[in-house]
Amino acid sequence: MNFASDNTSGAHPKVLQALSQVDAGPAMPYGHDPVTARAQDRLRAVFGHDRLAAYPLATGTAANALTLACLTPPWGAVYCHRDSHINTDECGAPEMFADGAKLIPLDSAHGKLTPQTVDAALAEHTPGFVHAVQPHVLALTQATEAGTVYTPDEVAALARVAHAHGLKVQMDGARFANALVTLGCSPAEVTWQAGVDVLAFGATKNGTLGAEAAVFFDPALAHGFAYRRKRAGHLFSKMRYLSAQLEAYLADDVWLLNAGHANALARRLGEGLAALPGCRLLHPVQANEVFCELPAGLADALSREGFTFYRWGAGDGGSDAVGVRLVASWNSEPGHVDALLNAAGRHASQAA
């Protein structure tokens, strides 16, 4: 019973079905095909923005690194949370694609940057001081690496700070659907209407085989993107197969239903674990991830019973407490959540 990551799940049947329905006959390659046009239209409709430029991609790393490279020169700086995926889990992809631009890691609670944190960091920079990299981008993650979610107001407040200093706002939306379901707002409200300039729209974790999109709300910011994508090896000749995934993902509310399923299970997991003695949530559960501190014995017992999850940083509740991360996927089974909570309850009561 696997709670290790949402990337351990496979693809949604409707996404696979869409692939099999793609006409295998001749079509213009490299995105000049009707499926890609439809997927782009769908994204414009979903975001209520008829001018956005959308480019299908296959991985989140590509979506993040290529969009960032469009927003910063090589001597630029990207301000981001210390724990953000782009800072810790892309093996330097943003730095490579932006020819050595620098990520400036910032600390704040629960994975969420605050306007104060960003403002203070930017205040340390002297504009034009040639010895330092120049601030160009504020990068947010939605949902965050801590499983929390920015409200539209929070995004707007951060974007105001960024824009006031001349920075662009990029959003890593690897778990965008999970955030959206929690917020209950429109995609527009928490992106371009709140000041997000570019979105790395994720879909892989939530039900596609491997399909994401770079979404530029201001098409002018996509200058050079087509060339960057090509030379990065991310221009797919048979792009219709990426686009078909996106189209199916966005149709029939597949993306929102998937995220809603995962979020609900995560919430149940979080509430159940938090109620046990010696356990407490390390972050609010606002998407599909649970960060929880457990007695080490309990974590070990769950592992032994075949539940898979990651240890995640150290708990601070004492020497015998450990932090764990549990992630629910679009196809996680409710019964597995029950089984984990039952097992945890059993072990907790034995220990008490």
The Cβ of residue 99 has, within 10 Å, a number of other Cβ atoms equal to 12
From the CB of 161, what's the least distance to a copy of itself, in Å? 20
From the CB of 239, what's the least distance to a copy of itself, in Å? 8
* 34, 92, 318, 334: residue in contact with a copy of itself (rule CB under 8 A): 92
From the CB of 62, what's the least distance to a copy of itself, in Å? 3
* Residue 285 lies near a copy of itself (rule: CB under 8 A): no
Residue numbers 165-204 binding a copy of itself by CB under 8 A: 204
How far apart are alpha carbons 128 and 281 in whole angstroms? Answer: 43
* 23, 41, 252, 300: residue in contact with a copy of itself (rule CB under 8 A): 23
How far apart are alpha carbons 206 and 210 in whole angstroms? Answer: 10
Which residues, in sequence order, are bridge partners of residue 2? 308
From the CB of 153, what's the least distance to a copy of itself, in Å? 30
Residue numbers 241-270 binding a copy of itself by CB under 8 A: 241-242
Closer by beta carbon to a copy of itself, 2 or else 186: 2
* 43, 53, 54, 62: residue in contact with a copy of itself (rule CB under 8 A): 62
List, as one string, the DSSP characters of 272-290. HHHTSTT-EESS---SSEE
The Cβ of residue 225 has, within 10 Å, a number of other Cβ atoms equal to 19
* 43, 52, 54, 65: residue in contact with a copy of itself (rule CB under 8 A): 65
Per-residue binding letters, 291-330, with a copy of itself (x by CB under 8 A): -----------------x--------------------x-
The answer to whether 134 touches 75, Cβ cutoff 8 Å, is: yes
* 91, 184, 220, 316: residue in contact with a copy of itself (rule CB under 8 A): 91
Count of residues engaged in binding a copy of itself, rule: CB under 8 A: 78
* Residue 164 lies near a copy of itself (rule: CB under 8 A): no
Owner of token pair 């998937």: 258
* 112, 165, 240, 261: residue in contact with a copy of itself (rule CB under 8 A): 240
How far apart are alpha carbons 52 and 221 in whole angstroms? Answer: 10
Which residue stretch of 26-34, 48-56, 176-184, 189-197 sits at the interface with a copy of itself (rule: CB under 8 A)? 26-34
- φ and ψ at 102, to 5 degrees? -115, 140
Asked if the bond preceding 4 is cis, omega within 30° of 0, the reply is no
- Which tokens belong to 340? 């984990």
* Residue 142 lies near a copy of itself (rule: CB under 8 A): no
Which residue stretch of 4-12, 151-159, 252-260, 338-346 sits at the interface with a copy of itself (rule: CB under 8 A)? 4-12
How far apart are alpha carbons 37 and 319 in whole angstroms? Answer: 56
Cross-sheet strand order for the sheet of 321-327 = 280-281, 289-295, 321-327, 310-314
Residue numbers 327-346 binding a copy of itself by CB under 8 A: 329, 331
The Cβ of residue 28 has, within 10 Å, a number of other Cβ atoms equal to 11
* Residue 22 lies near a copy of itself (rule: CB under 8 A): yes
Classified as helix, coil or strand, 177 is helix
* 83, 90, 247, 293: residue in contact with a copy of itself (rule CB under 8 A): 90
Alpha helices for 54-143 (secondary structure H)? 60-71, 85-88, 93-97, 115-123
How far apart are alpha carbons 164 and 159 in whole angstroms? Answer: 8
Residue numbers 208-237 binding a copy of itself by CB under 8 A: 209-210, 224, 226-228, 230-237
- Which tokens belong to 316? 């601070």
Closer by beta carbon to a copy of itself, 72 or else 193: 72
Residue numbers 101-140 binding a copy of itself by CB under 8 A: 101-103, 105, 130-134
